[in-house]
């Protein structure tokens, strides 16, 4: 059996993983779905001082406090930024670092820096108009897809309602504080990209062409899987996502049960 730590993307709490986590637990796995400070059912802890370091400490602290080892650490979307920092801080605890429709962030980059200009302009406007100057509200569906470039495939009215009900504004400093890496994560730490809204063939083409956003994925420590759906697979295809995660080959543990998606 494997130990999974699931970190949600922007605006969402740990409950966004519930159907996925429940299915993994049904297979006997140990699952920890993280709610980051100020989000979800911890929204009362939101302050202007909450930043990226807070989030890295949330996840690293949970792993250390619970005494977790050989962790499959999964970061969705924005949380790719977070799990990169966690793996740098406690690499010996991580067996597999998985990016779900996300990617590794370079040292010294803030998440806001990685957004295209039109997306940065949208976020800055939302912060000023609806975020009291220090919070990033979740954009409208039209803005998420048309400006942020996030695919809504698979999100019908029910899925959208559940996702919106669990979303909370996110402290701005979690977007604007640069990631500070200490170089502790070894290059050979196994890493996995699970691509959902971008075809894997396109990702491989970008890697081969030396595209700067994908250059970091070229090393031998990387593997790839494809789960075709929109940008939020925990809502659009939770059963398929759970089966894919359950079937991962975790270094040191061999194959998990029901190896789907390889």
Pair of tokens at residue 42: 């911890």
Position 229 in a domain: yes
What pLDDT, on the 0 to 100 scale, is given for residue 219? 87
Q: What average pLDDT score do residues 198-215 get?
A: 86
Position 41 in a domain: yes
Question: What pTM did the predictor assign?
Answer: 0.94
**What would the 3-class secondary structure string for 105-172 be?**
CCCCCCHHHHCCHHHHHHHHHHHHHHCCCCEECCCCHHHHHHCCCCCCCCCCHHHHHHHHHCCCCEEC
What pLDDT, on the 0 to 100 scale, is given for residue 211? 76
Tell me the β-bridge partners of 67. Answer: none
Domain count, the chain: 1
CATH number at residue 54: 3.40.50.1820
Instruction: Cite the active site residues.
Output: 77
Q: What average pLDDT score do residues 94-121 get?
A: 95
Strand pairing category for 170-171 and 94-100: unpaired
For residue 3, give Cα distances in angstroms to 100, 191, 203.
17, 16, 28
Position 224 in a domain: yes
User: What is the C-alpha separation between 224 and 119, in angstroms, rounded?
Assistant: 27
Position 260 in a domain: no
Position 110 in a domain: yes
Position 151 in a domain: yes
**Domain range for residue 234?**
3-255
Q: Residue 253 — pLDDT band, cuts 50, 70, 90?
A: low
Query: Is the pLDDT assigned to residue 251 strictly greater than 60?
Result: yes
Position 244 in a domain: yes
Position 225 in a domain: yes
């Amino acid at each position: 059996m494997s130990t999974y730590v699931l970190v949600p993307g922007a605006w969402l709490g740990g409950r966004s993983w519930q159907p996925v986590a429940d299915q993994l637990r049904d297979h006997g796995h140990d699952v920890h779905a993280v709610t980051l400070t100020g989000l979800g059912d911890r929204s009362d802890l939101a302050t202007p001082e909450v930043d990226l370091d807070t989030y890295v400490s949330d996840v690293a602290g949970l792993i250390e406090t619970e005494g977790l080892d050989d962790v499959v650490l999964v970061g969705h979307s924005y949380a790719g930024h977070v799990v990169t920092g966690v793996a740098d801080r406690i690499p010996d605890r991580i067996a597999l670092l998985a990016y779900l429709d996300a990617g590794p962030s370079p040292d010294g980059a803030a998440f806001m820096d990685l957004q295209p200009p039109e997306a940065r302009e949208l976020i800055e406007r939302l912060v000023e108009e609806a975020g009291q100057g220090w919070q990033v509200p979740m954009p409208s569906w039209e803005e998420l897809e048309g400006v942020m470039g996030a695919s809504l495939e698979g999100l019908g009215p029910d899925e959208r309602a559940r996702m919106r009900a669990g979303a909370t504004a996110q402290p701005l400093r979690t977007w604007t504080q640069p990631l500070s890496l200490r170089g502790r994560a070894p290059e050979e730490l196994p890493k996995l990209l699970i691509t959902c809204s971008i075809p894997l063939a396109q990702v491989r083409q970008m890697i081969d062409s030396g595209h700067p956003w994908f250059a970091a994925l070229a090393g031998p420590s990387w593997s790839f899987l494809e789960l075709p759906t929109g940008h939020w697979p925990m809502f659009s295809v939770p059963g398929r996502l759970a089966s894919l995660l359950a079937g991962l080959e975790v270094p040191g543990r061999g194959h998990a049960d029901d190896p789907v998606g390889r």
